[in-house]
Structure 1
Amino acid sequence: MKKVLLTALAAATLGIALPVAAQNLAIVNGKPVPKARVDMLTQQLAKSGRPVSPEMQGQLKDEVIAREIFMQEAQKRGLDASDDFKSQMELARQTLLIRELFADYQKTNPVTDAEIKAEYDKFVEANGGKEYRARHILVPTEAEARKAIADLKKGAKFEALAKQRSKDPGSGANGGDLDWANAASYVPEFAQAMIKLKKGEMTQEPVKSNFGWHVIRVDDIRDAQLPKLEEVKPQIAQQLQQQKLAAFQENLRKNAKIE
């Protein structure tokens, strides 16, 4: 009977001790290191976009134990009581709390599909219509522009003349080629002259802008090639999310009583 009681007592004792021990990752210099620290580190890595694979669990365990060793040494030296440490801890507390505030706002104020669609429609309206494949020759004076037009009418090649005379460093070397773009991409004077041209036509008079004098030729015209909504949805959502967060921050500043 006594043996049975001792066995039962031992089992009961183990039954209490085992769950407590299971909560600890290790005992470092007599101090328990809870397994929850590995979970916290795992969550932090996941938030930063680095999910933890099963193979990394051993590395995380070693990292948590190493941190405990280093913390114990720092505390032994009294570093956790220094003014510098306390200041850094306060800054870290503020940073984490502000980060949580912004994360909570974004979670409770998500960007909706309707908002994304409305923003996409605005983009289409601003960038739709026609696109032009144009070339130009940019020169400093009206006289030089008129000379270029005269030479082109005599048979000079537009591409060759642009390479020789154009002062536009971006397009000059490419024969004046400006690639595909809508009219809104150019300064008003340039755009107004360009949209009056048909495919293959060239301006008969020099076009003045704040860059100088232009001779423009339209090589081709097409309907605007815009991305589909689904292709740009993530970028639009991110942009709107940033705008919402910026407005939230500005509203907090505006309503704060600062004396």
Structure 2
Amino acid sequence: MKKQMIWTAVAAAALTALSMGASAQNIAIVNGKAVPKTRVEALMQQVARSGRPITPEVEAQVKEEVIAREIFMQEAQKRGLDATDDYKAQIELARQTILIRELFAEYQKTAAVTDADVQAEYDKFVAANGGKEYRARHILVETEDQAKAVYASLKKGAKFEDLAKKMSKDPGSGANGGDLDWAAAGNFVKEFSDAMVALNKGETTPAAVKSQFGFHIIRLDDVREAQLPKLEEVKPQITQQMTQQRMAAFQQELRAKAKVE
């Protein structure tokens, strides 16, 4: 009898331990159905990804949200809403979205942009944009006769800036006295840039320069070495751009390999 009582006590203790272990894996029992802690953990991860700090108050709110969802889900299932075609279609779209997101996340881990990648891209940018920058003004007119009239006014002592405001057809620079701000020669059409770089500081083109836009009277105000941003200043933008480019190439590669009939 005593031995039987001992085994009965052991069995009861074991059942109690199992019950406590199962309970530890759940946050609640709703209408007889267990709500696992994994749901809370998954929702907490989403909250963390959004940048919101995880505090005890937030954790309590997430727990209540998970319980509320279980209550609402049970009611929806009672009403048979999980058997409708609309529900099934939305579930399929959600499944696709999640799976594609995981695919892209996995790819980004294997194709992450390194500091060396950023440095190489920055070096290419410097090579393409280095050199000299020019600060020039111009007056754009439609005909050669109008250009001659501008030169005549300049010879009489009229200010270049005033004539630009009055006569230039360039809406971007005319209101600013013809000022084109600092720019590399390659930013302008060839006829304009060739004439501009041939000038010394303070000089005006001796004759109007014809381009596809009309006739330009150009004055070179200053020249300097190109002022390029430092690597640290543009590193985030370069990283983001390269990441987007790699993702686009990955998507295009998959699309090209796919057999679509």
Say whether 1:56 aligns with 2:58. yes
State the TM-score, normalizing by the size of structure 1.
Answer: 0.90
The 1-side partners of 2:220 and 2:123 are apart by 28
Matching residue of 1:142: 144
Matching residue of 1:161: 163
The structure 1 residue matched to 2:35, chosen from 33, 36, 40, is 33
After the TM superposition, which of the residue ranges 172-181 and 121-130 deviates more from structure 2?
Answer: 172-181
Q: Which residue type is aligned with residue 252 of structure 1?
A: L
Relative to structure 1, the CA distance from residue 58 to residue 174 in structure 2 (aligned partners, 3 Å threshold; closer, same or farther) is same
Matching residue of 2:82: 80
Relative to structure 1, the CA distance from residue 139 to residue 86 in structure 2 (aligned partners, 3 Å threshold; closer, same or farther) is same
**Alignment identity in percent?**
67
The 2-side partners of 1:209 and 1:68 are apart by 71
The structure 2 residue matched to 1:216, chosen from 212, 215, 218, is 218
After TM superposition, give the deviation of residue 80 of structure 1 in Å. Answer: 0.9
Unaligned runs of 5+ in 2: none
The 2-side partners of 1:153 and 1:25 are apart by 89
Unaligned runs of 5+ in 1: none
Matching residue of 1:96: 98
Say whether 1:234 aligns with 2:236. yes
Matching residue of 2:191: 189
Relative to structure 1, the CA distance from residue 136 to residue 99 in structure 2 (aligned partners, 3 Å threshold; closer, same or farther) is same
Relative to structure 1, the CA distance from residue 205 to residue 51 in structure 2 (aligned partners, 3 Å threshold; closer, same or farther) is farther
The question of whether the paired residues in 2 share the 8 Å contact of 1:42 and 1:51 is answered with: no
After TM superposition, give the deviation of residue 50 of structure 1 in Å. Answer: 4.0
Relative to structure 1, the CA distance from residue 171 to residue 54 in structure 2 (aligned partners, 3 Å threshold; closer, same or farther) is farther
The 1-side partners of 2:12 and 2:200 are apart by 97
Matching residue of 1:129: 131
After TM superposition, give the deviation of residue 93 of structure 1 in Å. Answer: 1.1
Say whether 1:202 aligns with 2:204. yes
Q: Which residue type is aligned with residue 29 of structure 1?
A: N
Q: Which residue type is aligned with residue 107 of structure 2?
A: Y
Q: Which residue type is aligned with residue 44 of structure 1?
A: Q
After TM superposition, give the deviation of residue 25 of structure 1 in Å. Answer: 1.7
Relative to structure 1, the CA distance from residue 51 to residue 183 in structure 2 (aligned partners, 3 Å threshold; closer, same or farther) is farther
1:112-170 residue CA offsets vs partner (Å, 9 max, x unmatched): 33322221111111111011111111222222122112212221111111111112222
Matching residue of 2:46: 44
Pairwise CA RMSD of aligned residues? 2.2
